[in-house]
């Protein structure tokens, strides 16, 4: 997941073969609506002082 913002403009999140959310990388990483997507993003390791999932 950590490399996605560097290689994609849009992403689709799937759970058990079903699309649960799709959108621009910034929309998904900064404003995920689905709990499954939010949990995936929350699982990303962050460095001290790093503000968001996109590292900004």
Domain that holds residue 22: 4-42
Q: Is residue 29 part of a domain?
A: yes
Q: Is residue 19 part of a domain?
A: yes
Q: Is residue 18 part of a domain?
A: yes
Helices marked H in 1-56 — which ranges?
4-7, 25-31, 35-42
Q: Is residue 33 part of a domain?
A: yes
**In Å, how far from its chain's centre is CA 33?**
11
Query: What pLDDT is stored for residue 32 in this prediction?
Result: 96
Torsion of CA 18, 31, 39, 16, to 10 degrees: 0
Query: What pLDDT is stored for residue 50 in this prediction?
Result: 63
Q: Is residue 49 part of a domain?
A: no
Query: What pLDDT is stored for residue 1 in this prediction?
Result: 75
Per residue of the chain (56 residues), give pLDDT as tens: 778 889 999 999 999 999 999 999 999 999 999 999 999 999 988 778 766 555 54
Q: Cα(37)–Cα(49) distance, rounded to whole angstroms?
A: 23
Q: Is residue 50 part of a domain?
A: no
Query: What pLDDT is stored for residue 10 in this prediction?
Result: 97
Q: Is residue 48 part of a domain?
A: no
In sequence order, the 6+-apart residues with CB closer than 8 A to the CB of 23 are 10, 11
């Amino acid at each position: 997941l950590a490399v996605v913002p560097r290689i994609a403009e849009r992403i689709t999140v799937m759970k058990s073969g079903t699309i649960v959310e799709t959108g621009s990388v910034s929309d998904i990483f900064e404003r995920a609506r689905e709990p499954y997507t939010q949990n995936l993003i929350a699982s990303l390791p962050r460095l001290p002082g790093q503000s968001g999932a996109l590292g900004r």
